[in-house]
Structure 1
Amino acid sequence: MLNRIITIANQKGGVGKTTTAINLATALAAIGENVLVIDLDPQGNASTGLGIERKERRLSSYDLLTNSATLEEIVVPTAVPNLSIVPSTMDLLGVEMEISSASDRVLRVKKALQTDAARRYSYVLIDCPPSLNLLTINAMVAAHSILVPLQCEFFALEGLSQLLETVGQVRQTLNPALDIQGIVLTMYDARNNLAQQVVADVREHLGDKVYTTLIPRNVRVSEAPSYGKPAIIYDLKCAGSQAYLQLASEVIQRERRRRAA
């Protein structure tokens, strides 16, 4: 199977990165794609949001990065059909120090995804920590493209320029094929003039790289992780869930156009 590896990254916290990862993954799985989420954030919010209890995380992305276990051994099925996860644990906090002297330290995730076990999945989504550290670089080196969640707030573009600079450096040195999959605008409040201005500015600067779908601020989306469920399963009809379904449709349309080009 020809899979597509998408890294979901933004060094700024609280922009809806993990929410985007788990709901986009769920939406893709719901339409029949076989999806794997790799949780590379030591906080493990993607794992919690997909209902994987901490006591169930016998092996994790830490074991993947330290070569202590294979991808096949680590993957855990979720309650969502067609959706599996490589969960995260707090052990990841020390992994940078452990592998920093290894010559292949930025290639660990890439190597794990060049296996038959990884090729079973049509989409692999990697959820990154809110920083540009070795974990995020591993995710960028492994990926075909990067999806950037961007909060509709005043300093949104400022943080984005630093991220795009890092993407450019990774492309030059480690992964020439790395592409920007798209920018998804999150936490949008239509009643807020500033949010509307941010949307206009981002679209002006980045054009068709910005998805048409706007992810609204939504209480039901915020509640869902505490129940260990993606918003799409917790409340399919809420505005946030419907937006993530639209986003999944846009992602697939972009993939089809890319493959046809």
Structure 2
Amino acid sequence: MESAPLRAALRPKKVKPLRVFAVSNQKGGVGKTTTTINLGAALAAVGRRVLLVDLDPQGNASTGLGVERRQRETNSYHLLSGRASLEEAAQATASENLWVVPANSDLAGLDLEISDSPRRAHLLREALRGPEGTPAGEGPADQRFDYVLIDSPPSLNLLTINAMTAADGVVVPLQCEFFALEGLSQLLDTIDRVKKTLNRALAVQGVVLTMYDRRNSLSAQVAADVREYLGGVVYETSIPRNVRLSEAPSHGKPALLYDRACAGSQAYLRLAEEVLRRERDPVTA
């Protein structure tokens, strides 16, 4: 991909203040990456300029957006380590209004590399919003994007802390299964600690129920229990189990490009609208 078209695509376009969401859950297999990809694509489909930052060394979000391994020579490792700027690391995707900073296994060694740095928890925030002291709204991402979604790794490590330190809110995918609430308290404690020590603005943006099967009474019971336990922080929209959602990553596409009419795509469009309502950012596209 040539750099000149990318620079043109990233010319400043200020609509509303940038909002940054970390999509996080330390449990694997809960639909975290699926949610990051498809929520990002849905926000882009309704006219928002969206950047997806792949912060998982497995790079599944990058694969799901069609970024091949050979196209990841400049990636989120380089962005966080200061070896590349946001403009150099971001790539356009096949979805209009959607860009990605890809990831590969380079990222796995970053924890050790930055462990002694006094700013180790702030690297992503500074890459997106500029070094400490940069005026609000003038960082590299502020005037280029409306939303940044960060695909966090399935663990509570320094990469996850970076995602939360950079974020305004955390979106928590929660699978509709028996152990849905197991480990959630640990995640909420981590969010609270980050809020107290690193990012006072951090909040739980919302919890999204994933892999919901309306034919299964257990899904309905889990959903009811989660809503009773967490109240209004749970999004009204649930994401169903859907074969097309599962197939789309193997084709390097968000579900909206693979099959816009499928139940999964339509659910993520509804979720995007709900996210925007909570942000008081009405859908105009």
Q: TM-score, normalised by structure 1?
A: 0.97
Query: Alpha-carbon deviations, 1:217-238, whole Å to 9, x = none?
Result: 0001000000000011100111
Q: Which SS does the other structure have where 2:236 is aligned?
A: strand
Equivalent of 1:60 in 67, 75, 98: 75
Identify the residue that residue 246 of structure 1 maps to in structure 2: 270
1:17-96 correspondence to structure 2 within 5 Å: 17-96=32-111
Q: Does 1:113 align with 2:137?
A: no
Structure 1 runs not aligned, ≥5 long: none
Query: Alpha-carbon deviations, 1:166-216, whole Å to 9, x = none?
Result: 001001111111011100000001111111111001000111100000100
Aligned residues: 258
Equivalent of 2:115 in 55, 78, 100: 100
Distance, in Å, in 1 between the alignment partners of 2:218 and 2:42 is: 29
Query: Alpha-carbon deviations, 1:81-108, whole Å to 9, x = none?
Result: 1110000010111110011011100000
Distance, in Å, in 1 between the alignment partners of 2:182 and 2:30 is: 14
> What is the identity percentage for the equivalent residue pairs of Structure 1 and Structure 2?
63
Distance, in Å, in 1 between the alignment partners of 2:257 and 2:93 is: 12
Q: Does 1:185 align with 2:200?
A: no
Equivalent of 2:25 in 3, 6, 10: 10
Q: Does 1:216 align with 2:216?
A: no
Identify the residue that residue 223 of structure 2 maps to in structure 1: 199
Query: Alpha-carbon deviations, 1:153-178, whole Å to 9, x = none?
Result: 11111221110010010011111110
Query: Alpha-carbon deviations, 1:23-75, whole Å to 9, x = none?
Result: 01101111110000000000101101011111011200000121111111111
Give the AA of the match of 1:44: G
Distance, in Å, in 2 between the alignment partners of 1:72 and 1:100 is: 26
1:115-154 correspondence to structure 2 within 5 Å: 115=130, 116-119=139-142, 120-154=144-178
Distance, in Å, in 1 between the alignment partners of 2:175 and 2:183 is: 10
Distance, in Å, in 2 between the alignment partners of 1:110 and 1:117 is: 10
Distance, in Å, in 2 between the alignment partners of 1:124 and 1:205 is: 28
Query: Alpha-carbon deviations, 1:131-164, whole Å to 9, x = none?
Result: 0000000000000000000000111112211100
What is the alpha-carbon root mean square deviation over aligned residues? Answer: 1.1
Distance, in Å, in 2 between the alignment partners of 1:52 and 1:185 is: 27
Identify the residue that residue 5 of structure 2 maps to in structure 1: none
More helix per residue: 1 or 2?
A: 1
Q: Which SS does the other structure have where 2:181 is aligned?
A: helix
Structure 2 runs not aligned, ≥5 long: 1-13, 131-138
Equivalent of 2:196 in 172, 195, 205: 172
Distance, in Å, in 2 between the alignment partners of 1:10 and 1:190 is: 23
Q: Runs (4+) of structure 1 moved beyond 4 Å?
A: none
Distance, in Å, in 2 between the alignment partners of 1:200 and 1:31 is: 30
Q: Which SS does the other structure have where 2:163 is aligned?
A: helix
Deviation for aligned residue 1:117: 2.7
Identify the residue that residue 4 of structure 2 maps to in structure 1: none
Distance, in Å, in 1 between the alignment partners of 2:227 and 2:159 is: 29
